[in-house]
Amino acid sequence: MKVKLTIWRQKNPDSKGQFITYPVDVVNGEMSMLECLDVLNETLMGRGEEPVAFEHDCREGICGSCGFMINGIAHGPLPATTVCQLTMRHFKDGDELVLEPWRSRSFPLVKDLVVDRRSFDRIIQAGGYVSVSTGNAPDGNAIPVGKEIADRAMDAAACIGCGACVAACPNGSAALFTGAKIAHLGILPQGKPEQDRRAVRMVAQMNVEGFGSCTNIGECTGVCPKEIPLEEIARMNRDYLLGAWRERGNVVTAIAPVTDWNFGEK
Q: Which of residues 116-175 bind other proteins (CB under 8 A)?
A: 116-118, 120-121, 124-126, 128-141, 143-147, 149-151, 153-154, 157-158, 160-161, 168, 170-173
Query: What's the burial of 75, exposed, middle or buried (CB within 10 Å: 0-12/13-18/19+)?
Result: buried
Q: How many residues bind other proteins (CB under 8 A)?
A: 147
Q: In the complex, what is the shortest distance from the CB of residue 127 to other proteins, in angstroms, rounded to a whole number?
A: 8
Residues 6 or more apart whose Cβ sits within 8 Å of residue 31: 39, 87, 88
Per-residue binder mask for other proteins (CB under 8 A), 62-101, x = binder? xxxx---x-xxx----x-xx---x-x-x--------x-x-
Q: In the complex, what is the shortest distance from the CB of residue 59 to other proteins, in angstroms, rounded to a whole number?
A: 5
- Using CB under 8 A, which residues numbered 184 to 223 contact other proteins? 184-185, 188, 190-191, 200, 203-204, 206-208, 210-219, 221-223
Q: Taking CB under 8 A as the rule, does residue 1 contact other proteins? A: no
Q: In the complex, what is the shortest distance from the CB of residue 105 to other proteins, in angstroms, rounded to a whole number?
A: 5
Enumerate long-range contacts of 7-13, CB under 8 Å, 24 or more apart.
7/52, 7/98, 7/99, 7/112, 7/113, 8/99, 8/100, 8/101, 8/112, 8/113, 9/52, 9/112, 10/109, 10/111, 10/112, 11/111, 12/110, 12/111, 13/108, 13/109, 13/110
- In one-letter notation, the amino acid at residue 139 is D
Q: Which of 1, 4, 35, 95: binder of other proteins (CB under 8 A)?
A: 35
Q: Taking CB under 8 A as the rule, does residue 14 contact other proteins? A: no
